[in-house]
Amino acid sequence: MTRRYNSQADYFKEKYGVRLQKLVVDAGFTCPNRDGSKGRGGCTFCDNNAFHPNYSTPDKSIAQQLEEGIEFHRERYRRAGGYLAYFQPYSNTYAPLERLKAVYAEALAHPDVRGLVIGTRPDCVDEAKLDYLAQLAKEHIVIVEYGIESCYDATLEHINRGHSWADAVRAVQMTSGRGIATGAHFIFGLPNETRAMMLAAAEKINTLEIDSVKFHQIQIIKGTKMEEEFSQHPERFERFMLEGYIDFFVDFLERLRPDLVIERFAGEVPPRFVNSTPWGLVRNAELVRMLENRLEQRETFQGKLFAPKK
């Protein structure tokens, strides 16, 4: 079946011939807005424990995390034809180059690992690190995924990101310019962003030199600064119910560049971490089915309203 949007599952299978499953790896990194380099406390929405599986903890070696991750996914996802080590928690280029080389080499030494997905921030890369990743990319799959979260500097400041939109544009250009596959991550529903602002962000995202993009709806994690803000100022937040979010994302997809690979369009956080579950317990497969049905019902597709600038 030909999808009406450019899904990553289809893209990987077409490009590499198999389904590739990510294995989350926690190498014990931190972030510059946590350790005092740029700030303290991290992003207001963030508790990394809510975003990665139990097998992935920094007290284990990279090799052990990969083995446990493969065993976990063999039971849950039997169709995987290979694996990618996904360095996800915090900022996974925020360390001296020699440490990065050692950590990445340990992951790539595993016989079932075909490459790396490296989650990081736009302000945590430099020429030397990207030159090294470009060399790795000649022999392995290497994807650098930047957490950008918003196109608006006022929002980035409000949520304590510690970087700007200009920083994101610069990092993406430096990465893609070296031939490294480049992705980006954005959140819908951050404080003070209206639905119109979120839809308008598609035009700015279209200008980025990225290959793939991941979207999540905001989820209010217990114990975070954002939970406190939400309790005091709920009017600042655009809270999507499930059906409304599907329709919103179809509107967004119509504006998005058709070549961009969509990795995810919604997020799942275990219920114990969130202060409410307005969608109920809906798994990603069901969300994908709902999106595909809505695209078909509306007879629309990714990029329908996209107009390249001349």
In a domain, 1, yes or no: no
Per-residue pLDDT band at 135 (split at 50, 70, 90) = very high
CA distance 180 to 192: 34
- The number of distinct structural domains making up the chain is 1
* pLDDT reading at 60 higher than 60: yes
In a domain, 77, yes or no: yes
Q: If you average pLDDT over every residue of the chain, what do you get?
A: 92
- Helix, strand or coil, per DSSP, at residue 98: helix
Amino acid symbol at 72: F
Q: What is the pTM of this model?
A: 0.94
Per-residue pLDDT band at 186 (split at 50, 70, 90) = very high
pLDDT of residue 77: 63
In a domain, 306, yes or no: no
Per-residue pLDDT band at 62 (split at 50, 70, 90) = very high
CATH assignment of the domain containing 205: 3.20.20
pLDDT of residue 50: 60
* pLDDT reading at 1 higher than 60: no
pLDDT of residue 107: 97
CA distances to 52, 178, 201, 209 from 286, in Å = 20, 37, 26, 31
Percent of the chain with pLDDT over 70: 95
pLDDT of residue 99: 97
pLDDT of residue 142: 98
pLDDT of residue 141: 96
In a domain, 310, yes or no: no
In a domain, 51, yes or no: yes
* pLDDT reading at 38 higher than 80: yes
Q: Six-digit token pair at 157?
A: 């400041």
CA distances to 20, 98, 175, 267, 273 from 113, in Å = 9, 21, 22, 25, 30
Q: Six-digit token pair at 130?
A: 């990207």
Segment 100-117 shows an average pLDDT of: 97
pLDDT of residue 268: 78
Per-residue pLDDT band at 277 (split at 50, 70, 90) = low
Segment 110-115 shows an average pLDDT of: 95
Q: Six-digit token pair at 9?
A: 């599952």
CA distance 114 to 118: 13
In a domain, 303, yes or no: no
Per-residue pLDDT band at 67 (split at 50, 70, 90) = very high
Segment 131-158 shows an average pLDDT of: 97
Structural domain for 27, as ranges: 8-297
* pLDDT reading at 6 higher than 90: yes
In a domain, 2, yes or no: no
pLDDT of residue 40: 87
In a domain, 304, yes or no: no
Segment 141-167 shows an average pLDDT of: 97
Task: Give pLDDT tens digits for 220-233.
Answer: 889 899 999 999 99
- Assess contact for 52 and 58: CB atoms under 8 A: no
Task: Give pLDDT tens digits for 230-268.
Answer: 999 999 999 899 999 999 999 999 999 999 999 999 987
- Assess contact for 283 and 289: CB atoms under 8 A: no
pLDDT of residue 275: 66
